[in-house]
Amino acid sequence: MSKDLQLIAGNSNRLLAEAVSSYLGQPLTKASIRRFSDMEVFAEILENVRGKDTFVIQSTSYPANDNLMELLITIDALRRGSARRITAVIPYFGYARQDRKTGGRTPISAKLVANLITAAGVDRVLTMELHAGQIQGFFDIPVDNLVISPIFLPDIEKRFKGEKIVLVSPDVGGAVRARAMAKRIDADIAIIDKRREQAGVSEVMHVIGDVRDSICIMVDDIVDSGGTLCNAAAALKAKGAKAVHAYVVHGVLSGGAVARISSSEIEHMVISDTISATEAVRVSETIEQLSVAPLLGEAIKRISEEQSISALFN
Binding site for ligand R5P (CB under 6 A): 97, 170-171, 173-174, 202, 220-228
Q: How far is the CB of 139 from ligand R5P (least distance, A)?
A: 21
How far is it, in rounded angstroms, from Cα 194 to Cα 218?
A: 14
Q: How far apart are CA 129 and CA 149, in angstroms?
A: 10
Nearer of residues 53 and 99 to ligand R5P, judged by Cβ: 99
- Residue placing its CB nearer to ligand R5P in the complex, 202 or 264: 202
The secondary structure of the chain in percent helix, strand, coil, rounded to multiples of 5, reads 35, 30, 35
CB neighbourhood size of 194 (10 A): 20
Alpha-carbon distance of 22 to 17, in angstroms, equals: 9
Taking the complex as a whole, the smallest distance from the CB of residue 169 to ligand R5P amounts, in Å, to 9
Look at the alpha carbons of 161, 162, 163, 167 in this order and tell me if their dihedral is positive or negative.
positive
Name the nearest CA neighbour of 114 among 139, 143, 131. Answer: 139
Nearest approach in angstroms of CB 202 to ligand R5P is 5
Question: How far apart (Å, rounded) are the C-alpha atoms in residues 127 and 135?
Answer: 11
Catalytic, 194? Answer yes
| Closer to ligand R5P by Cβ: residue 24 or 96 | 96
Whether the ω angle into residue 63 lies within 30 degrees of 0, i.e. cis, is yes
> Which residue among the candidates 3, 52, 111, 194 is catalytic per the annotation?
194
Nearer to ligand R5P, 227 or 297 (CB): 227
Looking at residue 28, the DSSP 8-state letter turns out to be: B
If phi > 0 it is left, if psi is from -120 to 50 it is alpha, else beta; for residue 51 that is: left
- Of 237 and 242, nearer to ligand R5P (C-beta) is 237
Q: In angstroms, what is the minimal distance from the CB of 90 to ligand R5P?
A: 17
CB of 100 to ligand R5P, least distance (A): 12
Catalytic residues: 194
